[in-house]
Amino acid sequence: MTAAERQTINQISRKIKHDSTNESSGHDWWHIYRVWQTAIKIAKEEKADLFITELAALLHDVADWKFHNGDESIGPTTAKRILVSYAVSSDSIERIVDIITNLSFKGALVPNTITSLEGKVVQDADRLDAIGAIGIARTFAYGGFAGHALHIPGQKPVMHQSKKDYFLSQGSSINHFYEKLLLLKDRMNTNAGKRLARARHRFLEKYLQQFYNEWDGRC
C-alpha cells in the first residue's frame, strides 16, 4: 500500500469515528473498529488487497439499513460520497461500494451475494463481531434498543424468509442466537474466518448452557 493510500485510510477512519460516536445500538464506532482490525488480520492471512478491505470495513455500516426504514441504498450512496470526497480512484470506489451493497445479513434464508475476496474478508470480520463474547453483548444491547425480551421460554426461533421478516421480528434476544448467531460459523467464507468462528461458536454454546441453568435455578 502506498503512503497516500495509508493516509486516506487514516483520514476516513477519523471521519467515521467522529460521525458514529453517538450510535448506541451496537453499530457504533467500536463495532467498526473491531471489524476493521479483524478484517486486517484475515486479509493478511488470505492475501486480500488491504486498501480495498480496510476502506470497505470502515464504511460497511455507514448508514445501516435497519435504521433507515429498510432503504438499502443509503449506505452505498453515503459511502460513495465519502470516497469521492477523499479522491479515491473510481475503480477502487466501484469495488468498495459493491462490497458494501452486498454485505448485510438480512435473514437466514436470504442468499449471500458477495463475490470478491475483499468482500468475503469484510463479511467474515463483520460476522465474527456478531458471535463470541462481543456478539452476546451486542445481541442484548440491540434487544434492549428494539424492546425485545431477554428470553421467552417456549417461544420458537423463526427462520426469516425475507429481509422484511427479519427486520420486523419481535423474538427474544435468546431466540436471536438460533436465528442468526449460531448459524454464522457455517457461513464463513475464508479459512481464517472459519478458524476464528469455531472458537467463538464454542463460547456461544457454553454461554447458552449457563444461561438456561441459571434461568431454571440449576446453578
Residues that bind Ni ion (CB under 5 A): 61, 126
- Nearest distance, CB of residue 130 and Ni ion, angstroms: 8
Nearer to Ni ion, 56 or 83 (CB): 56
- Nearest distance, CB of residue 217 and Ni ion, angstroms: 36
Whether 56 and 43 have beta carbons less than 8 Å apart is answered as no
Closest alpha carbon to 146 in 49, 31, 66: 66
Output the nine-digit C-alpha cell for 9.
485510510
Pairwise CA distance, residues 34 & 40, whole Å: 10
User: How far, in Å, are 49, 174, 193 from residue 124 at the CA level?
Assistant: 15, 22, 6
Residue whose cell numbers read 431477554: 150
Nearer to Ni ion, 122 or 192 (CB): 122
- Nearest distance, CB of residue 212 and Ni ion, angstroms: 28
Residue length of the chain: 219
Nearer to Ni ion, 20 or 92 (CB): 20
- Nearest distance, CB of residue 65 and Ni ion, angstroms: 11
Nearer to Ni ion, 8 or 123 (CB): 123
Q: Report the Cα–Cα distance between both ends of the chain, in Å, rounded.
A: 53
- Nearest distance, CB of residue 70 and Ni ion, angstroms: 17
Nearer to Ni ion, 46 or 61 (CB): 61
Q: What are φ and ψ of residue 63, in 5° steps?
A: -150, 75
